[in-house]
Structure formats: structure tokens, C-alpha cells
Chains A and B, each alone.
Chain A
Amino acid sequence: MKLNVNNAQHDVDADPRTPLLYVLRGDLKLNAAKFGCGLGQCGACTVLVNGEPVFSCVTPIALLAGKEITTLEGLGTEEHPAPIQQAFIEAQAAQCGYCIPGMMMRAQALLQRNLHAGDADIRAWLEPNLCRCGSHMRILRAVHRAQHILTTAQKGDAG
């Protein structure tokens, strides 16, 4: 079936019951979304579908025809990082880093819908995502940093 991933159409020859995570990692060789639990409990697999976060480990590709799937790779690269990526690097917001792509995608969805979310709202928003290393303080700092980068850019555009 055809899947739209990071603005490109892909012809995927997989059983429609296959969770998106395995198609992203196995067929499309994308690394960011990770296997953490396969149960929708930890968020390491989070990607965006039509701009909203989903657990790709429990989302079969059968549900995704015609929808826009965005992974971390679709936001930016090492050479041209997106604001959220730049922010996480500046904040050094990772220890092992395994949970971080999921965190970033979840945060990205928030920033896309409400750039001025307050700290309490960011914490509530990130609740479904687990971090075992205890990088939470840095993750929050990174999201605030991304807000700053984006709002400064906005002002720059407007000014």
C-alpha cells in the first residue's frame, strides 16, 4: 500500500496489520521512532499523523492510507536541524537518548498547535512519554528553548 511519510510517497509491501513502527524501521530504514514496549505505554515510538501524535507501535498501517506521517527525520537533519532539534542539542537534553525522538515528536505536535503553552501544560502534554534516565528537566528546558527559537523567528518574520 501507499504511505505518505515525510512528504514522500512510499510503496510498502507489508501486511496491512503491521504496526507502523516496523514499517518505518524495517522497510523505510528510519531510525528515530523506537520500540519501547509495543503496548502504547511509553511513547518511544511516537510519530505524527496529520500533525498529531500517535504511538506507531500500535497503529497498523491499514489505518494510514492517505494520511501524512511525519517522523523526526522529516523535521530536519544534522546539517539543517529543525528548531526542536536545535533546541534539544543546545539543551543537551538526553542521557541515553532512546526516548528522545518520541519526546521531540510529541513536543513538536504541541508547539504546532500552541506555541505559547506554559510549563504546566507542557508537562501534562508529555505525560504519556517515559524517560528512565531522568532527563525530564532538560527535556522541559529544551521544549521551552524550542518555543523561544520559534517565537523569535516569528517575530523576525513579522518585524
Chain B
Amino acid sequence: MSDTGIVISRRAVLAGSGALIFSFSSVAQSPAQENAAPLAAAAPPLPGSLKQSPFLDSWIRIDADGAITVFTGKAELGQGIKTALLQVAAEQMDADFAQLKIVTADTARTANEGYTAGSHSMQDSGTAITHAAAQVRTLLVAQAAQRSGLPADQLKTDNGAVVAPDGRRFGYGDLVAVEILHVQASPQSMLKDPVQYKFLNRRIPRVDIPAKVTGGEAFVQDFRPDGMVHGRIVRPPSYGAVLDSVDTTAVKKMPGVLKVVRDGSFLAVIAEREFQAIEAMRALAAVARWHESAKLPDMAALPAFLAGLPARDIKVIDQQQPAAVNAKMISATYSRPYVSHGSIGPSCAVAQLQDDALTVWTHTQGVFPDRDAIAEMMRMPKDKVRCIHSQGSGCYGHNGADDAAGDAALLARALPGKPVRVQWTREQEHAWEPYGPAMLVKVSAALDDSGKIADWDYAVWSNTHSMRPGPAGALIAARYLAEPFPEPEPKPIPMPEGGGDRNSNPIYKFPSMKVIHHFLPTMPVRVSALRSLGAYMNIFSIESFMDELAAAAGADPVEFRLKHLDDPRAREVVSTAAGRFGWSAKPRAGSPGHGYGFAFARYKNLAAYCAIACEVEVNHETGRARMVRAVAAVDSGQVVNPDGIANQIEGAILQSMSWTLYENVSFDDRRITSVDWATYPILRFSAVPDSMEVHIINRPGTPFLGSGEAGQGPAAAAVANAIANATGYRFRDLPLSSERIKAAIGV
């Protein structure tokens, strides 16, 4: 096959025969633009993940029987991405939805799209599939043109076939021949006109839910290859503990035990049946002798601790003007403790070492980086290690999934040929997952005579928000082996994505601004990425402070924000939420025990816009706060599945409410002490609001804006602002527990 000839001719096909071409407004992080620039000139980068994986058949494959497989390097986390991407593909290909299947993150089969994180899936994968699918459709039409002898512009596509004016149908399966999809994407695509959409902005039911509600195999926890055996890990009691001794004689003799694995301070047991493994784990834990050395900070004094750590200063914004005269200065300090992912299903993985090739089924957010880390840890070549994403329970970032995969790999090596399943316990998940870091914010602002913000000075202290694999040392197991891998150096994530400084740059327009990120490399407590990263705390702080400033200026909180917002989409989201809530009709001061709060942010100032108005009730006698009603407005660009977006925003509001009102990881001077739901209580049904609405503003034809994390920050601030409205007290230290509230409001 002459690649060159075929490529040129297909490129010519894709380069545009005068059909519809859309230009997306360019977005810095997700260039999704196409124009009629000739190929000879410096080609604009390919849109989305096509940049890294330009071949069309990395994304779309069509079988001779017409079945279509969509490939994505992203993973289904419960956010509905499988369904959304199928909708995108079906739309641009004019395919029959029922014929579509999707294959997700697999190092052997899909593109490397890094992590399913940062609300990037639609922007990266969705954009790539949009264009790939559109270009596949163009190629199929060209094939049909060749076959039928008709010009391409007389042919239409419909429901999985190219249709000629005389009604002849050429099924896609019939048109596919000889690798016609094995061609690199063109920067240009013939995209559908949004007015013709059949699948986008539709509430297509999620393809994964039926199995989940009928006991189908849906999670990695359900995977049962033949001959599978069960592993359990015995973790150290605290960070850095060393396994001095363990007498394994009795455990080895327990029923069903196949192997006790010890490598340095890594200790585990494998048994035939699951309960046998559990009992052996308990027995093994009882005889293990550890030497502990961890020194954890004083939980009660975290903000001071953070402020005292060595820091690397990162200037996020440096546009300070001299302060105006007559400026009213307000300042505030906000803090949050460590917060846990708290995945409902503790991490799990299955691994099998067969003929020196290792396969790991894992719910990691990044199969490629996790594969790299495991390969390094096992000292195996990368191409001998395959990581296949298999869904776990909601992870909300970097939880124990990657580590469990590493654990499973080590146990698979201990029993070559046998699939070994490793299931973490609840306590292990709570104690060993990497938390969202504790953070500190200090902010001060000046109000001018007209009640507008004249100067803004903001500083945030935080650890890194990503200690993901890559390096082997990111895996717990690798750090406790007899020849350990060192924990990698923490690095800040550069803006505009950011880590601790994510969303520290307010979207509001101030004439004078300074934002500094004090990056703290010292991490006594294990930390990494938790849904929205630094945005939760920064938006909580900024939006709480905006309310404090509004109060000082005697202004309504919504009006005050609009005064400083010029982005029209932002303004519309704010107005929609306020309008739908009935903000202007609400009592200003709140009725006894009831308060109203508002908050807004654009996630990363790049992704979805979200505004939330809420009503909170506070029980005066107990200090207990509960959200009664919430109304959210969100702008996600082109809507793919409105129900999916609503689901994510509802979930974000409730999860964020739980973080904000209840949660903090607890520890003594050596060990994590919040190890289960008794010691890390989260939201239960008794605190769920009476009602919640999500209003979605669709922007047809515009780039997808990631929405999975857009609700976390605004929800926190809306709740805090409502509590301030209800009680007259401003709470700045998270969580806003009933004890704190009661202590402030007194009798």
C-alpha cells in the first residue's frame, strides 16, 4: 500500500471541497479551530487530543458489518463520558446510535490522553472525536462517491449509511475497505450545523446505567477471570513505618492461603477465597511489628503550620497600581483542612503476569502514567505492561486506584499465571489515599468611593495538588519495597491550569491585582489531586470575600459581582441563577434561622461557568446548618448531554456541601485517625436539600467546556454566604461544623 498516494488523496478530500466549515473561537488550552488556510503554510495544531494521536483510526473503527467502535483515552468515572462521547461520534458521523460501541482507556488499544481529570474529557477527547468522526464521515462519503460515480456533494449521510439522491444506501460497513481510516487527521473538518443536531444537547440515557441497576458486570470489582485468587495488603500503621519483623508461619497455614508476600516493608497475603484472604490479612496485621517514625502536624493549628513552612513563591498575577486615596481596606484569612476523596468503593485492581507480560485491570484515571510507574517499579519494559481501565466507584481525583494497581502487579508477580485481585479495605482507603491538601488564603482589598474594588491582594499557601504517577515512587508499594523507589519531588502545576493556585486569579476585573501562590514542597500528610484542586478553596475564599466586600460597600451580593464582571457569558450565568432563584424577592436579612447565599466562578477561567444561589437553614440551638434549596446556572459551551451536566452539577453541589459543612481528615501526631465513616462522617439523606435546580445555557457550535468540577467552589461559597446571612457571623475556617457555628452564635 502506498501510503503517500493514499494520504495525499485523502488529505485532499479532507482539505475541503467547499462544504460547511466551522471555525471555533480559539481557546488557549484546547485549540479547536479550523480554517481554510492551505496545508503548505504552517498548519494550525490539530484539535483536542488529535494533536497527540492524529490517526483517525485511533478514534473510530468500522467493521464490515457496520458496527462502529469509538476509542477514547479517557475513562468512565461515573461522569457519563462514555455516553457523551458516543453522542458526539454519532452526531458527526450520522451513525446509528445502537450500532456504536466505545472502548475506553487501554494502553494497548486507545490513544494516550493522559489522565481523565481536570474536566478535560470533553475538551480533549470530545473535540478529537468530534473532528475524527466528521472526517471519517467525509471519507466515507468520498468512498461512496467513488463507488456510485456521483459527486460527493450530492450524497447525504443518515443513520449509518451514505444515501444517494435516488435512495441507494451504502452502509458504512460496506464502504470501509483497506485501511481507509488509517490516515492522519486534517486540521479542517466538515462539522454539522448545530441546527441539525440529533444527538447533541439530547438527554440520551447513559449506556452504563442499565447494567449497574441489574447486577451486570460494570466495575473492576465485578471482574472475575478464571482462576482468580484474592490478595489483601497489610499496610504500615503510619507513613514511613518500617516492618521490623513478622512471623508468617501461622498465617501461611491458614485455610486457603497461597502465599505471603514480603518485600521490605511491603506485606501482603494471597488466598483462594476472598474471606480467607481477609482473615489472613487480619492475622498477619496482628503479628507484624513496625517501627513508626511519622511526625504529623497539630491538627488544631494547620493554618499557622502552613504559613510557617518553606515556600516557593509563584507570581500568578502582578498588576498592582498604587492604592487610591479614600480606599476602604478589608482583609480576611480563610483556611481549609485536608479533605478526603472518600470513594464509596475502596480501591481495587486485578493483575495477571503471563509469559512475562503483565496485564492490570484498574480504575486509575490515567492508564498510561500508571502503566509507566508500574513498569518502572517492576523493572519491566513498558511494552510488556498493559493497563486496562475498568470502572471503579467515583474517585473524584487521585485516590487509591493507582496504588492498588501497583499492589496487584506485585502480587501477580508472586503467583505468575494467576489473576490476582487486590481489594483495599475501607480503613486503608481512608488512611492511605492522597488527600486534597490543607490550604490557607489571605486576601485584602480596597473599595473606592463608588463601592467598586480598587485593589486586590491575594495569597494562597498550598502543597502540590498532583503526586500522580508517572514515576514509580508515586506508588505506595514502590516506596516500601526492600529497594524502594523515592517519592518524586512535588511540582506545581503551571497556570492557567494551576494546582493550589487554580482559580486564584479572579475572573472579575480589578484595576490593581496581585496574586501569589506560596507553593509548599513539605508534605507531612500524603496529598494529591482532589476534584477541582485548588479551585475549591480559592473560589470559596474569593466568593466569600466578595460577599464581605459587598457588605462593606452596602451592595447586594449579586449586583456587586455584576459590577465587576464584563464577560457576557459570565454575566448571563449569574443573572440566570439569581433570576431563577428569585434572588431579588428574597428577604434581605433572612428570616430567623434562614439565610441566602450566592457565588459564581468560571472553572479555571477556561472551562464551564457556574453560578449558584442557595437557601440555608441554621438551627440556633445546635448550630446545625442544612442547605434547603439550591438553584444553579451553568454554561458548558456546546451541550452534549444536558442530563449528564445536570447530574455532575447536582453531585458537585452535594459533595461540596459535605466537604464544606462536615469534613476534615483527622490525625494525631503520628497516624491518620479518620479511618471510616464513623470518624469521617459525610452527607447522609437527613441533610439533603428539599430541592435543587440546574439551568443549563446551551451555546451551540461553541467549544465544549469541562463541567465535572465547576460546581465545587461556588457551592462552598454559596453555603458559607448563606450561613453568614442567616447568623450574622462570617465563618472562614472550613469545615463550617455545627460546633463552630454554635460557638459563634452562642445562646
Contact = CB atoms under 8 A, between A and B. Distances in A.
A34 B78 contact: no
Interface string B337-348: 000001111100
A35 B218 contact: no
Contacts of A4: none
Given A14-B275, A81-B213, A132 B682 contact: yes
B116 to A, nearest CB: 13
B345 A35 contact: yes
A104 B215 CA distance: 11
Contacts of A9: none
A25 interface: yes
A88 to B, nearest CB: 5
Contacts of B650: 134-135, 137-138
Interface in A27-73: 29-32, 34-39, 41-42, 44, 71-73
A85 to B, nearest CB: 5
A140 interface: yes
B571 to A, nearest CB: 28
A94 B394 contact: no
Chain A contact-residue range equals 35 or more
A1 interface: no
B301 interface: no
Nearest to A142: B213
Contacts of A148: none
Contacts of B655: 132-134
Contacts of B682: 130, 132
A99 B78 CA distance: 12
Contacts of A130: 344, 677, 682, 684
A64 to B, nearest CB: 15
Given A19-B275, A131-B344, A101 B215 contact: yes
Contacts of B273: 14, 18, 22, 26
Contact of B685 (A44, A72, A98, A126): A126
B249 interface: no
Interface in B384-419: 391-394, 396
A15 interface: yes
B688 interface: yes
Contacts of A133: 78, 344, 394, 651, 655
Contact of A44 (B79, B344, B392, B654): B344
Interface in A123-159: 123-124, 126-127, 129-138, 140
Contact of B214 (A26, A78, A132): A78
Given A32-B215, A138-B650, A127 B209 contact: no
A9 B79 CA distance: 38
A89 B213 contact: yes
A92 B274 contact: no
B599 to A, nearest CB: 17
A135 B651 contact: yes
A30 B221 CA distance: 11
Given A85-B214, A92-B205, A37 B651 contact: no
Contact of A124 (B218, B425, B686): B686
Contacts of B652: 134
Interface string A93-117: 0111111110010000000000000
A94 B209 contact: yes
Contacts of A42: 344, 426, 677
B579 interface: no
B745 interface: no
Contacts of A25: 274
A37 B212 CA distance: 19
B692 A137 contact: yes
B439 to A, nearest CB: 21
Contacts of A29: 224
B335 to A, nearest CB: 24
Nearest to B686: A127
Tell me what chain A mostly uses at the interface: helix, strand, loop, or mixed: loop
Contacts of B647: 92, 95, 135, 138
Contact of B78 (A44, A85, A97): A97
Nearest to B396: A132
Interface string B672-685: 00001110001111
Interface in B646-682: 647-648, 650-655, 658, 676-678, 682
Nearest to A136: B688
Given A98-B344, A134-B654, A135-B647, A73 B684 contact: no
A9 to B, nearest CB: 19
A92 B205 CA distance: 7
B211 A78 contact: yes
Contacts of A37: 346, 426, 676-677
Contacts of B342: 132
Interface in B623-650: 643, 647-648, 650
Nearest to A125: B685
Contacts of A96: 77-78, 344, 391-394
B90 to A, nearest CB: 18
Contacts of A126: 685
Interface string B251-265: 000010000000000
A11 B262 CA distance: 36
A123 B76 CA distance: 29
Contacts of B278: 22, 38
Contact of A22 (B213, B274, B392, B691): B274
Contacts of B79: 95
B274 A89 contact: no
Interface centre among B203, B210, B216, B344 (most CB of A within 10 A): B344
B215 A72 contact: yes
Nearest to B212: A97
A26 B256 CA distance: 14
A42 B685 CA distance: 12
Given A92-B205, A134-B652, A41 B274 contact: no
A17 B683 CA distance: 32
Contact of B208 (A15, A32, A97, A99): A97
A32 B210 CA distance: 12
Contacts of B676: 37, 39, 41
B216 A92 contact: no
B510 interface: no
Interface in B179-231: 203, 205-206, 208-219, 221-222, 224
A98 B209 contact: no
A73 B214 contact: yes
A71 B215 CA distance: 9
Interface centre among A22, A26, A88, A95 (most CB of B within 10 A): A95
B394 A132 contact: yes
A127 B684 contact: yes
Contacts of B344: 36, 42, 44, 96, 98-99, 130-133
B423 interface: yes
A92 B692 contact: no
A22 B275 contact: yes
Nearest to A86: B213
Contacts of A131: 344
Given A132-B393, A138-B647, A97 B209 contact: yes
Nearest to A60: B275
Nearest to B273: A26
A73 B215 contact: yes
A38 B425 contact: yes
Interface centre among A96, A101, A129, A136 (most CB of B within 10 A): A96
The 7 closest A-B pairs by CB, nearest first: A96-B78, A134-B654, A98-B393, A134-B651, A97-B212, A32-B215, A96-B394
13 contacts: A31-B216, A36-B345, A39-B426, A81-B210, A92-B203, A94-B212, A96-B391, A97-B208, A98-B345, A98-B393, A101-B215, A126-B685, A132-B393
Given A31-B222, A127-B686, 9 more contacts: A15-B275, A34-B221, A41-B426, A94-B212, A95-B647, A98-B345, A99-B344, A99-B393, A137-B688
Interface of A: 14-15, 17-19, 22, 25-26, 29-32, 34-39, 41-42, 44, 71-73, 76-78, 81, 85, 88-89, 92, 94-101, 104, 123-124, 126-127, 129-138, 140
